[in-house]
Structure 1
Amino acid sequence: MQLSNYEEFPTQLPIVIEDNLFLYPFMISPIFLSKKEDIDAASFAIEKNSLLFMTTTKDGFEDSRDKDSLHTIGVIGSIMRKVHMPDGRVKILFQGLAKGEIVSDIENIDIEDVLFQASMINLIENEPYQELKVHALIGVLNEKLQQLSKIQNYIPADLLKTISETDEPYRIADLVASVLKISKTDAYEIYKEQNIEERLMQLIDIIISEIESARVEKEIRSKVHTKIEQSNKEYFLKEQIKEINKELGSDSQRDEEIEEFRNKLEEIKPHISKDTYKEVSKQLDRFARMHPDSGDSQQIHTYLEWVFELPFGKLTSKSLKVSDVKRELDNDHFSLVKPKDRIVEFFSVRELANR
């Protein structure tokens, strides 16, 4: 069906609302209809050999069908085929033919239980333009689109060829807009713009933004990849060093612990006797030379931990009473009467000596 059959516009056409796909005049697209109003509108158009007006709802008005909730500019087209699906939906093959606009209130049509919406639709003609400036803009658009196609794989290869072979700027703008990843609202704002120079500049800005976004994304991925590689490299090197140290009978964690023991020994040195310092230092040297998995190594490690947990040099102003010593010994140690008596005697003599 051609628009030449409808030389007089505006004319009343049935309306179908499609929110899942933004359509353009050049497109031939399968559309799935589930709402009764849309199915009846398609059935009426086929039965009467009528054109159809396809539009979308505004954001936030997906469940409304009045004029205020719809984008008034859409696509005039025809139905090439209609198929009833097993799930109750209807699939139509819609061919876009021209840009159109709703110019009257939307009417609810009821013809023998066929219920659909219709409105007066006017054909939107392309505005004249300055060829020199528009061709220059198309050149920039084509150049930027080629740059984008090299870093994003969603740009069809045949699109660039079609653009180079087409001398219709409005069609070029629609073709490019149809492949860009833009929202329904942004697509509509570009589509409704009648000044072709402005439309082309909007598309160029979007493509430049896409190129920059892709460049930054690639840079981030590269940095992340490099960081992961470096982390993996460091991890494997550390594991190798750990295995080598195990073979040599040492590891960095154990070396750090030995160094910590030596520091603690120096801290308590002023508060212990020379013989005590000499003995602890001797055991620490033995521990450093031993294989970490040997039994003696574990025993000496326990001994060193016990030594450094003793409160050397940590004095308290609280006086120690023999009765306190006896109570603590009875609470903490069952039986062992004679050893506990010897300890109590020691503190008793000490207390008497201090007096």
Structure 2
Amino acid sequence: MSEQERQDVVQKLNDGYPLMALKSIVAFPHNRQALPIAREKTIRAIEEAMMQPEHILVAATQRSIEIDDPQPKDIYGTGTLIEVVTMHRQQDGTLQVLIRGINRVTIDEYVDHEPFIRAHVSDLAEPQTTGAQADALVRHTTSLFERYAQLNRRFSVEDINSIVALKTPPLLSDTLAAHVVTDMAQQQDLLETLDPMDRLEKICVIMGNEIEILELETTIRSRVRSQVDRSQKEFYLREQLRAIQEELGMETSSESDELRAKLNQKHLPTEAELKVRKEIDRLERTPSQSAELSVMRSYIDWVLALPWNERNEETFNIESARHILDQDHYGLEGIKERILEFLAVRELRIQVAQRNGNTKQISQGQILCLIGPPGVGKTSLGQSIAKALNRKFARISLGGVHDEAEIRGHRRTYVGALPGRIIQSMKTVGVRNPVFLLDEIDKLSSEYRGDPAAALLEVLDPQQNSNFTDHYLELPFDLSEVFFICTGNIKYQIPRPLADRMDIVDLPGYMLEEKVNIGTKHLIPKVLQEHGLTSEQLRIPQTVVQRVVIEYTREAGVRNLERQLASICRKAARRVLEKPNTHIRLTTHNLEQYLGAPRYTNAPPLMRTQIGAAIGLAWTEMGGILLPVEVVTMSGKGELLLTGQLGDVMRESVIAALSYIRTRTDELDIDPGFQDNYDLHIHLPEGGIPKDGPSAGITIATALVSALTRRPVRTDMAMTGEVTLLGSVLAIGGLKEKVLAAQQANIHTLIIPTANQKDLQDIPAKIRQQIHFTLVDNLDQVIEAALLPAPVEASSENNNTHISAPEQSAAAQEQGRHIHPPTSQQTEMEHESDPQKFFIPPPDPTTNKFFPSAHTKEDDHDIG
């Protein structure tokens, strides 16, 4: 470009030309650069420049690369006048441009910011550089560049030749600044340096520093390579020396010899011994720098550390075992008897197998599985069994385990591979016949990485566990002498194949008397010792423990009881330190000073009889609980509202109970058209807790009949049972836990299915004497026993009418509802001939209606 053309371009630029802000790069005159453009403002500026004949704009570098939308204050004041040679638009909307630097400019002012920045600039003229000094500096700079390119090796021969061919300071300095200098601050400094001679001197300094660093890196690289070569040479020399020593009969001591000595002492099975010897041979041949060395050494250590032959000498005495169980656990008489029977059968089988010389049959039997709520002593029972058998105790928790490798281990091909938790625990316990507790077996889960329950099948199967193969060991390990015990909270969540291999023993929750005795005899001495107190410093009578159980805990076990006792001890410890000679005696009067106000009450949830309110019983993994059910009727068009987080099974129980009531409107004295005139709302309190299961069927049906007949339900009564569409009452589970919950709530009358009469023998006699059980076969018997006889007139102000306790008692006595189980058969129900009247469709997803109105074809559009 001639000088006149350059002046014309600058004059046009002074009218306000687009500005392109560059990030982490500086554009130099006399150089072509390919740039990717993604920012919207820059794209607009380039497009504006391409609309002009000269394709000219200003390129200036922003001060910080962190800024995505630079403003004028964020841009250096010296830039470069550039020409856009080519522009290509990519598929993602970005641009790929090739620019050519023309000359340096200084930005005088910014005239516009949107949609892109425009600026007024002034040309920066360079001084003339000719003569011998310029030639000498060019020659020196060229020589340094050739040395730099030789060490850097990122320039091609063509690039080197083209740069060396530049003989003028302006061209050479700008080219080297663009291709050699990498620091953006140094590049901007070179752009702002107008004298080409000064630029060349700065570039020589930069290249000189880079050459020193590159030469140092080359020296270090050569030194490291020589050290590696020396290590290899030393390895071969050591191997030759060892061979010479063996030939001369000289004694040698090495790691492999020590491993072989350990192997000879372990007396491993033949397959394992051959495998370890092979690994030791590989270890000897492996260079010390190899990454495989630590993997092989770790594998050998694991195999040699396992208890292949070590075992405890088992001693079993039935009387001693009974004494240990009684000493460690109060109550649970049936459970302890079941455990003693299990241990007795196992001991006899061992004796028979030893007489026959067939030790493989010793372990072939069921696996003991203890199922019960948290805190009832499942884990401690396992420890007591280990103590009774004089065996070591091992335990792993399976809660949340979802990877098969947790059980079988990882294969050695993975980095950081380890054996599974079974083998790890066997190494830790150090014997091959421990009592092994698999805790929380019902909390296993599976995913794409495998099913740990399937891996446990081999562990717990007596026919297979004598050859259990861990993925890491790749050797069969004998687990047949391990006494496995499993624990869980919900037996229905245990995978069926696992449950078939186990003898399941149910541990119910503790009764009030048992909790008080456990607290007095076991927990109080324990918490006193843990808190540094003595029985003289703090006395907790049995009456206080009983009140703590009733008013401060709601659980099947005793964990919360222990926490409350520990809270008392903490406050007592502080008072003892404040007054060293203090002797504290807790009473029922000063208990609240230590635990605060009572959290629970033993009163029934319904203090006054209400229409549409009934008390049910439910089972959870924490034990039995009361389940109140509330039903109200409202003027409407047959909508059914269900609240309280009801599950699918409980929703189906509602539908079944409602269908039965609709077929019995005449017998129950219910308006046959109630489904056309009323909406029903069924609610189970404590809506934050999900609820499901069929055992609330008769409770829901009773509350519905009460709401529709305006007859109140007895509040001194609770019930449980599944209801069918024809009104039959089916058996339920968890009866003992539900009875304990009713007893704790001071409810002494229960309605239960006749099919559960066999389960009453599992309830302690003392509780059976305190609670009256009404056995029922059908819903008619439930309604007769639960509803008070006299209808109560509904109030327009309150849909639920109350009745006082004396009136309730008198009405109950008038009906003569005593504790005798009914003997009448289920009443045969007569259905009307029109089946459509008794058809209950599934709920409409938009209206949730269950009650179809009587209608003609012309009315179909009104009910959807």
Q: So what's the TM-score if we normalise by structure 1?
A: 0.65
With over 3 angstroms needed to count, the CA separation of the structure-2 counterparts of 1:49 and 1:57, relative to structure 1, is: same
Q: Does 1:32 align with 2:36?
A: yes
Q: How far off is 1:81 after superposition?
A: 2.3
Q: How far off is 1:94 after superposition?
A: 1.7
For residue 96 of structure 1, what is the aligned residue in structure 2?
A: 101
With over 3 angstroms needed to count, the CA separation of the structure-2 counterparts of 1:123 and 1:251, relative to structure 1, is: farther
For 1:208, the aligned partner's letter is G
Distance (whole Å) between structure 2 residues aligned to residue 10 and residue 80 of structure 1? 18
Q: How far off is 1:13 after superposition?
A: 1.4
For residue 217 of structure 2, what is the aligned residue in structure 1?
A: 217
Q: Does 1:67 align with 2:72?
A: yes
SS at match of 1:116: coil
With over 3 angstroms needed to count, the CA separation of the structure-2 counterparts of 1:164 and 1:225, relative to structure 1, is: closer
> Where in structure 2 are the equivalents of 1:193-342 lying within 5 Å?
193-246=193-246, 248-253=248-253
> Which of 6, 11, 18 lines up with 1:8 in the alignment?
11
Structure 2: any 5+ residue segments left out of the alignment?
266-864
For 1:57, the aligned partner's letter is Q
With over 3 angstroms needed to count, the CA separation of the structure-2 counterparts of 1:164 and 1:244, relative to structure 1, is: closer
Contact 2:90 2:96 in 1 (8 A): yes
Distance (whole Å) between structure 1 residues aligned to residue 249 and residue 60 of structure 2? 78
Q: How far off is 1:26 after superposition?
A: 1.9
Distance (whole Å) between structure 2 residues aligned to residue 250 and residue 9 of structure 1? 95
Q: How far off is 1:158 after superposition?
A: 3.5
Distance (whole Å) between structure 2 residues aligned to residue 246 and residue 129 of structure 1? 79
Distance (whole Å) between structure 2 residues aligned to residue 93 and residue 178 of structure 1? 15
For residue 174 of structure 1, what is the aligned residue in structure 2?
A: 174
Distance (whole Å) between structure 1 residues aligned to residue 53 and residue 204 of structure 2? 39
Q: How far off is 1:180 after superposition?
A: 1.1
Distance (whole Å) between structure 2 residues aligned to residue 179 and residue 67 of structure 1? 27
Q: How far off is 1:181 after superposition?
A: 4.5
Structure 1: any 5+ residue segments left out of the alignment?
110-114, 258-291, 299-355
SS at match of 2:11: coil
For 1:14, the aligned partner's letter is P
For residue 89 of structure 2, what is the aligned residue in structure 1?
A: 84
With over 3 angstroms needed to count, the CA separation of the structure-2 counterparts of 1:64 and 1:35, relative to structure 1, is: closer
> Where in structure 2 are the equivalents of 1:153-172 lying within 5 Å?
153-172=153-172
Contact 1:138 1:169 in 2 (8 A): yes
> Which of 56, 62, 79 lines up with 2:61 in the alignment?
56
SS at match of 2:110: coil
Q: How far off is 1:141 after superposition?
A: 0.6
For residue 117 of structure 2, what is the aligned residue in structure 1?
A: 117
Q: So what's the TM-score if we normalise by structure 2?
A: 0.28
SS at match of 2:242: helix
Q: 1 or 2 for the larger relative contact order (CA 8 Å, sep ≥6)? A: 1
Distance (whole Å) between structure 2 residues aligned to residue 208 and residue 37 of structure 1? 39
Q: How far off is 1:195 after superposition?
A: 2.2
Contact 1:72 1:101 in 2 (8 A): yes
Distance (whole Å) between structure 2 residues aligned to residue 38 and residue 10 of structure 1? 17
The superposition leaves residues 177-227 of structure 1 with CA deviations (integer Å, 9 ceiling, x where unpaired) of: 222152111111122111222211111111111211111111111111111
For residue 46 of structure 1, what is the aligned residue in structure 2?
A: 50
Contact 1:67 1:106 in 2 (8 A): no
The superposition leaves residues 62-113 of structure 1 with CA deviations (integer Å, 9 ceiling, x where unpaired) of: 334222211222221122222221112122222222222211135214xxxx
SS at match of 1:8: helix
Distance (whole Å) between structure 2 residues aligned to residue 77 and residue 208 of structure 1? 30
Query: What is the aligned residue count?
Result: 262
For residue 137 of structure 1, what is the aligned residue in structure 2?
A: 137
With over 3 angstroms needed to count, the CA separation of the structure-2 counterparts of 1:60 and 1:41, relative to structure 1, is: closer
Contact 2:13 2:57 in 1 (8 A): no
SS at match of 2:63: coil
Q: Bigger CA drift: 85-94 or 127-136? A: 127-136
Q: How far off is 1:121 after superposition?
A: 1.6
Distance (whole Å) between structure 2 residues aligned to residue 251 and residue 126 of structure 1? 83
For residue 276 of structure 1, what is the aligned residue in structure 2?
A: none
With over 3 angstroms needed to count, the CA separation of the structure-2 counterparts of 1:20 and 1:59, relative to structure 1, is: closer
The superposition leaves residues 304-328 of structure 1 with CA deviations (integer Å, 9 ceiling, x where unpaired) of: xxxxxxxxxxxxxxxxxxxxxxxxx
The superposition leaves residues 163-188 of structure 1 with CA deviations (integer Å, 9 ceiling, x where unpaired) of: 45434311110111222152111111
Q: How far off is 1:35 after superposition?
A: 1.2
Distance (whole Å) between structure 1 residues aligned to residue 131 and residue 64 of structure 2? 36
Q: How far off is 1:245 after superposition?
A: 3.5
SS at match of 2:67: coil
RMSD: 3.4
For residue 281 of structure 1, what is the aligned residue in structure 2?
A: none
With over 3 angstroms needed to count, the CA separation of the structure-2 counterparts of 1:160 and 1:240, relative to structure 1, is: same
Q: Which of the pair is proportionally richer in helix?
A: 1
Q: How far off is 1:230 after superposition?
A: 0.7
Q: How far off is 1:49 after superposition?
A: 2.8
Contact 1:142 1:160 in 2 (8 A): no
SS at match of 2:172: helix
With over 3 angstroms needed to count, the CA separation of the structure-2 counterparts of 1:86 and 1:169, relative to structure 1, is: same
SS at match of 1:125: coil
Distance (whole Å) between structure 2 residues aligned to residue 247 and residue 58 of structure 1? 74
Distance (whole Å) between structure 2 residues aligned to residue 181 and residue 154 of structure 1? 13
Distance (whole Å) between structure 2 residues aligned to residue 81 and residue 95 of structure 1? 10
With over 3 angstroms needed to count, the CA separation of the structure-2 counterparts of 1:226 and 1:179, relative to structure 1, is: same
Q: How far off is 1:161 after superposition?
A: 3.5
For residue 657 of structure 2, what is the aligned residue in structure 1?
A: none
With over 3 angstroms needed to count, the CA separation of the structure-2 counterparts of 1:156 and 1:20, relative to structure 1, is: farther
Contact 1:102 1:121 in 2 (8 A): yes
For 2:177, the aligned partner's letter is A
Q: How far off is 1:60 after superposition?
A: 5.4
Percent same amino acid among aligned pairs? Answer: 17
